[in-house]
Structure 1
Amino acid sequence: MESNANLNLQRSVRATEATLVYHTVKHHESFNSLDCTAPLCKSIYPDSKIAKDVTCSRSKAEAILKNVLGPFAQENMLKEVSKIRYLSVSTDSSNHGAIKLFPVLIQYFNPEKGGIQVKLLELQALPNETAETISTYIHTILTDKNLLDKLIAFSADNTNTNFGGRERSGTNSVYSRLKSATQNDDMVGVGCIAHIFSNSVHHAIESLPICVDSIVMQMHNHFASFTVRTEALKKVCSELEIDFKRMLSHSKTRWLSLYPAIERILQMYEPLKSYFLSLSYPARTLQMFFENDFSECYLWLLHSFMSIYQSRIKHAETADISVNEVIDQCSQVVENINERLEQNFCPMKVTEILRRLSEARRDEVEDFKQNMRRIGDPAAEQSATWSSYGNSSTMNPIGSPQKGAPQVMKVEEGMASISVSARIPEFWREMPRLWFAQFEATIAPQKQGDECRFQLVVSKLNREALQQVADIIYSPPETNKYQVLKERLLQVYEESPERQFQRLVGELDLGTQKPSQLLRRMKELARNSKASDETVKNLWITRLPVPVKTVLAASQDQQVDNLAAIADKVMENMQPITGETAARSIQLKRQTDQGRLAKAEPS
């Protein structure tokens, strides 16, 4: 009995020591802390036999981690990964003096563990960071652990070594070498989206006439270690009844630091302006910045624009984000920027300042409004061209397309399709050929492939249109998918020449259109029905009001487009009969009729 008690005590002591080591590693504490932890436990728990026998200094803790906990965790992880269907691998170098450490992380989905899992597979020092060295390192690790056939995605930062540049061309990057090693041309390549978003913001900043990075750093450095200057600013804040806040620093390698720094300047803008312009010898850059009445406008504009990226960068830096979420974040950013550009969006604060300046400086205000677009165009282009991802929804466990599934679009096309998708309207069933003309003009600069064009068109079809092409979607041809889909949609929805001529002759009216708009619609119908220009002209004139016909008949210029311009002007000068005018006329007629009836009645 005594030997069993001693054995149980020894097991409890070992379990306690292993738990202490695990707790230290999990919370990123130093092993040096364990030198005093064991003696501390003995003092806190003097009656505990387990605490009395625990001896877990830093040397012993390191041995427990390397020889017990580490191998045990690796064994459990490999058992778990052996049951999953596919995974992605990530790596990046970390310099520790002259040593370059390369951790290899794997990410996979395990519903039994609650979703996405991220595990450290290996950590080694490499002699250099060439594409050949890194790809061989990853390939060897995955092969040794029987995981190579599960690899469908590679994630790293956006260097040429990892991806071969923005176009991801060539055969000497880590990404291209892994695709070759796995014989999977459809492997998804995921760059650092936070880095892409940060670069997009800086592309926008470079388009501004002020150097925002320099302004932020100069303001911070001016007050950072100078008590007298800080106290002077506090005094200005007190006079203006604004709460004092310290200036924030910014570093280009800290992607989330610029937005709060700009926000802090805006919160303190009036005190800062008063302070710097009151100095006898202020820094010339800061003096020019605060003397420019449009500087605050630029900061508010940039602040509003950066808010789109700030939340996305935070989300991208979470531990369990998936590639699908990354693609979704890219899509939302590009769509939001494009929507702002299309709507000529202007933040409310900027609108207030411009309204205040517009009376005295109208020309400069107009120039500012025209230049506002410059902040969005370069950022949208940067986000779209660098965010190149594939669609892995049809991947099988080894990363190649499933048999019978649509071919996965090339990686270079993935994000480019997202950038143009927001500018393509839903399919026009009443004007299918015109819709395809606009569609092809929109995607022409991106030089999209057949698969990408096919998927873009499918994404713009409603339920009824999808039913008409369901057989093509389920079983697309090997080649010319887009052309086959286009021809089917034109066959179903485009009216025959006979039907178009029938509409041209008998169904079109002016209604609320301008005469020129009616003429263009009639020309469109006549194009396929092969009606002559003279026929279209005569049919068009018969649908115009009599006053307009009279003016056109007296015109010496009988060219139909010129007649349409004249008809538009005549219609603009004609008094329209509004609903209010018609109601007033009816009421007057009723009053007149009632008066006549009253006179006609016998007394």
Structure 2
Amino acid sequence: MTCGRTKAEAIVIDVLAPASVEGCLKDLKTPLNNPREATTKAHTPFFSVASDASNHGTTKLFPLSVRYWAPDLGVQTKVLDFYDDSDKTSAAIHNQIVTKLKENGLGLDMISAYSADNAGVNYGRYNSVFQKLKEDNKDILKANCVAHIVHNSAKHSGDQLNIDIENVVNKTFSHFSSSAKHVEELKSIHTFVGEEYQSLLRHVPTRWLSLWPAVKRLHDSWAPIKSYFLSLGEEQCPKSLWRLFNDDQDGEGNPLELQVYLSFLSNALKIFHDTVLVLEREDGTVCSNYQKKVASLALQKSPFNFSHLCEAVEVLQLSKKLDMDALYDEYCVVLPRQQAIVQSGAPVVEKWATLLKHTNTPNLTAVASFFLSVPITNASVERVFSLMTGCWTNTRNRCSVELIKSEIQVKSNFTFSCKDFFTYVVKEKALLNAARSSKKYKFKKKLEDAGEKV
């Protein structure tokens, strides 16, 4: 089967993307029993929803992702939708979230948390998206983006310095990014001083992990960069940079103020950078940063007793959704295994999977499903924008939002390697038949529908 542009687009939009979402919905509608069989007594997984907004030209785009956990699946993060909407008010965002969930058959009562950046439209005290979701589900938690807070801490601390380091980084980058001649001149200076040339990096204020690499690259290339701008002279060098590079103090080779700040920030910002990287990990859990009464569920130092479990259930507002008597019986079932699992040193997610696999503990599994579904950052939707940038390149600038959405869903929701994906597709006869069928083409669907009506 060969693929031209139209066929490839049709397969991605009408076959692969729907299949990737269908797998997610199947997980969310399958009871948390082991084996995972349909039973009215079992709980389905709780899930959190995450949303964000970004621009592509004049188009406002919103990803919608879900995070959930089950013992045999681990933590899963899937892109449920990606849509454009010119209305970015809290009412519009809330309406879209509710509509998308209902279209996919997901109940609002199973939402554990709402995750977004810390903008007022998302978490404002009045009339925010979170407050509107609370009206639909009063037990929903506020999953503020901790990485965003760490990023803002570094940013606002930098604002107290005598030099605007973000402006220096971006001004320096822009000087070379638009001129091949400037780059060649800088390369020749690198060669003269015996250093390997490395291109400067751009800092994007809304991207958490871009400042430290940009500062470090500028710091590591300090000698050639300084020599280059001084060689330009006052007339050709940007004035804001000339004042910094020409301030040679007493002329005795003492470090410039800018050099000192770059040296300090290349070390200090590394701490913030590494912290954000840890927070962005997909297996991060809420146990360590939500409330002390939930910390015992991290299974880090000692097994939790039933009173700890009850406290966590109250904090998470789950008591009305669980059978507390059955929960005690289930706690007694897993109690003999707790000590060995605590001492295993495995991540929290793996410990709970080991504890609950091959057990008939629907209530305890529901508790784990709830708190392990709560994210500590909204990195999942931030990654969507990175994928969007990779898909919507200058050479593919006429792609529709629907195609970009489908590509993002395929890349995010299918976690196979190329080899494993081939094996998966070969076994999925329905998927192959759909790809071969002419019904994947929208214009043929319309013709067939019109023919049936006639």
Equivalent pair of 1:86/1:399 in contact (CA under 8 Å): no
User: Aligned residue pairs: how many?
Assistant: 283
**8 A contact 1:106–1:118 mirrored in 2:** yes
The equivalent residue for 2:77 is 118
Whole-Å Cα distance in 2 between the matches of residues 396 and 107 of structure 1? 20
Question: Percent of counterpart pairs with the same letter?
Answer: 30
Structure-1 residue corresponding to 2:243: 288
* Cα shift readout 1:478-531 (whole Å, capped 9, x = no counterpart): xxxxxxxxxxxxxxxxxxxxxxxxxxxxxxxxxxxxxxxxxxxxxxxxxxxxxx
Q: Does 2:317 correspond to 1:400?
A: yes
Q: Deviations over 1:149-177 (max 9, x none)?
A: 2222111122211100xxxx23x111122
Q: Deviation at 1:71?
A: 7.5
Contact 2:28 2:44 in 1 (8 A): no
Q: Can you list the C-alpha shifts for 1:234-274, whole angstroms capped at 9, x where unaligned?
A: 34334433333222222223332221221112112122223
Residues 399 and 122 from structure 1, CA distance in 2 versus in 1: closer, same or farther, beyond 3 angstroms? farther
Aligned-pair distance for 1:303?
Answer: 1.6
Does the 8 Å contact 1:220/1:249 carry over to 2? yes
CA deviation vs aligned residue, 1:387-416 (integer Å, no higher than 9, x gap): xxxx9994549951548xxxxxxxxxxxxx
- Report SS of the residue matched to 2:162: coil
Residue in structure 1 matched with residue 118 of structure 2 by the alignment: 158
Equivalences for 1:308-327 in 2 at 5 Å? 308-324=271-287
Q: 1:287 to 1:103 in 2, by over 3 A?
A: closer
The alpha carbon displacement at 1:298 in A equals 1.1
Structure 2 residue aligned with 1:132: 91
Residue matched to 1:91: 51
Larger deviation, residues 96-105 vs 240-249:
96-105
Q: Relative to 1, partners in 2 of residues 1:137 and 1:219: Cα closer, same or farther, differing over 3 Å?
A: closer
- 1:206: how far off? 0.9
- 1:77 and 2:27 equivalent? yes
1:299 matched to which residue of 2?
Answer: 262
Stretch of structure 1 that moved more, 154-163 or 253-262: 253-262
Q: CA deviation at 1:200?
A: 1.8
Unpaired runs of 5+ residues, structure 2, are 33-42, 249-255, 292-307, 321-454
Residue 171 of structure 2 aligns to a residue whose secondary structure is helix
Change (3 A) 1:150 1:399: farther
Note if 1:249 corresponds to 2:202.
yes
Please tell me whether the aligned partners of residues 75 and 282 of structure 2 are also in contact (alpha carbons under 8 angstroms): no
Q: CA RMSD in A?
A: 3.7
8 Å contact 1:152–1:398 — kept in the other structure?
no
Residue 75 (structure 1) shift: 5.1
Tell whether the 8 Å contact from 1:86 to 1:398 is kept in structure 2 after alignment.
no
Counterpart secondary structure, 2:233: coil
Q: CA deviation at 1:110?
A: 0.9
Q: Which structure would you say has the larger Rg?
A: 1
Q: Distance in 2 between matches of 1:262 and 1:105?
A: 32
* 1:95/1:279 CA distance change after superposition, 3 Å: closer
Out of 116, 129, 135, the residue aligned to residue 180 of structure 1 is 135
- Matching of residue 224 in structure 1 with residue 177 in structure 2: yes
> In structure 1, which of residues 122, 141, 149 is the aligned counterpart of residue 109 of structure 2?
149
CA change 1:225–1:393 in 2 (3 A) is farther
- Verify the 8 A CA contact 2:28 2:45 in the aligned structure 1: no
Summarize the Cα distance change of 1:80–1:93 in structure 2 as closer, same or farther, 3 Å threshold.
farther
Cα–Cα, structure 1 residues 59 and 155, in superposed 2: closer, same or farther, change >3 Å? closer
State the partner residue of 2:407: none
Shift of 1:299: 1.2
Partner of 1:491: none
SS at match of 2:163: coil
How big is the shift at 1:61?
6.0
Corresponding residue SS for 1:119: strand
Q: 1:306: how far off?
A: 0.7
| Alpha-carbon shift at residue 225 of structure 1 (Å) | 4.0
- TM (norm. structure 1) is 0.41
Aligned-pair distance for 1:125? 5.1
With a CA cutoff of 8 Å and minimum separation of 6, indicate the structure with the bigger relative contact order.
Answer: 2
Residue 226 of structure 2 corresponds to 273
Q: Deviations over 1:170-200 (max 9, x none)?
A: 3x1111222232233xx32123333333222
Q: Secondary structure at the match of 1:245?
A: coil
Q: Given that residues 259 and 310 in structure 1 are in contact (C-alpha distance below 8 angstroms), is that contact kept between their aligned partners in structure 2? A: yes
Shift of 1:99: 5.7
CA drift at 1:307: 0.5
Normalising by the residue count of structure 2, what TM-score does the alignment of the two structures yield? 0.53
